[in-house]
């Protein structure tokens, strides 16, 4: 579904991504783990069109989307749930969800997807008229995920979904990620909580200073001494 080849991205003179290559197959959960500043968010921003690569290819279902406008990439079926949730604080829960579907014209499909979001996140339905800025961190994370799902993505990019959440909520968010995947959405997940990410992913990539330094089946990487030392506190 997604093939990234030799991606180079710069912030001015800073070489942020140095030849990143990775692959996501349809139906998979793939995780990208690494320390803060390794280049994980830069990778997602480049995939979703917020940053333009200086070099490299991003093939989404065979089409090169490198440097394409962000809204065109969403229309093709690739949506991002940004780090820090980024909900529209002065708009209601309902308005935030409607914005997720702003590129769509199929009223019946939008209504159906809205109902699916409320089945998956009942708390959002309870707070449908509430301003998004007044929700708790966990509820805002659910809203950010629901909003992305309203664009009916084929591939969902999740950036640090567990950040700042209580352990019980982290478990809930991860079980929802598994459900979303089981219902047919492919997922690329960036996560500081490497232990949780490796427990639900099929494949994993480890990133350090703008490069992929390790990759393989998630369960094998979870057992690797190098990964345990660096990311799992082992």
CB hemisphere CA count around 149 (13 angstroms): 26
3-state secondary structure of 221: helix
pLDDT band (50, 70, 90) for residue 103: confident
> Cα separations (Å) of 6 from 25, 61, 123, 206?
18, 17, 42, 16
Domain of residue 81 covers 2-231
pLDDT score at 211: 96
pLDDT surpasses 60 at 21 = yes
Please answer whether residues 213 and 38 qualify as being in contact, where contact means their C-beta atoms are separated by less than 8 angstroms: no
Domain containing residue 75: CATH number: 3.40.50.300
234 vs 75 pLDDT, higher one: 75
pLDDT score at 234: 55
**Locate tokens 């290559």: which residue?**
21
Number of domains in the chain: 1
Contacts of 112 by beta carbon, 8 Å cutoff, 6+ apart: none
Q: How far apart are CA 122 and CA 214, in angstroms?
A: 39
Q: How far apart are CA 158 and CA 79, in angstroms?
A: 9
pLDDT surpasses 80 at 184 = yes
The residues with which 52 forms a beta bridge, in sequence order, are: none
């Amino acid at each position: 579904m997604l093939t990234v080849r030799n991606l180079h991205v710069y912030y001015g003179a800073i070489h942020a991504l140095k030849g990143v290559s990775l692959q996501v197959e349809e139906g998979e959960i793939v995780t990208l783990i690494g320390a803060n500043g390794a280049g994980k968010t830069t990778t997602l921003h480049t995939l979703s069109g917020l940053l333009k690569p200086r070099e490299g290819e991003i093939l989404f279902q065979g089409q090169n989307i490198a440097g394409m406008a962000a809204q065109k990439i969403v229309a093709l079926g690739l949506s991002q749930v940004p780090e820090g949730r980024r909900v529209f604080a002065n708009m209601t829960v309902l308005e935030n969800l409607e914005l997720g579907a702003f590129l769509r014209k199929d009223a019946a499909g939008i209504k159906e997807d809205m109902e699916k979001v409320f089945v998956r996140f009942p708390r959002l339905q309870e707070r449908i008229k509430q301003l998004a800025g007044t929700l708790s961190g966990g509820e805002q994370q659910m809203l950010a995920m629901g909003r992305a799902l309203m664009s009916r993505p084929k591939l969902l990019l999740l950036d640090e979904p567990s950040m700042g959440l209580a352990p019980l909520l982290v478990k809930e968010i991860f079980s929802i990620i598994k459900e979303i995947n089981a219902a047919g959405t492919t997922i690329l997940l960036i996560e500081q909580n490497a232990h949780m990410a490796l427990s639900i992913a099929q494949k994993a990539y480890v990133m350090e200073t703008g490069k992929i330094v390790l990759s393989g089946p998630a369960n094998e990487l979870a057992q690797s001494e190098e990964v345990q030392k660096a990311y799992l506190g082992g």
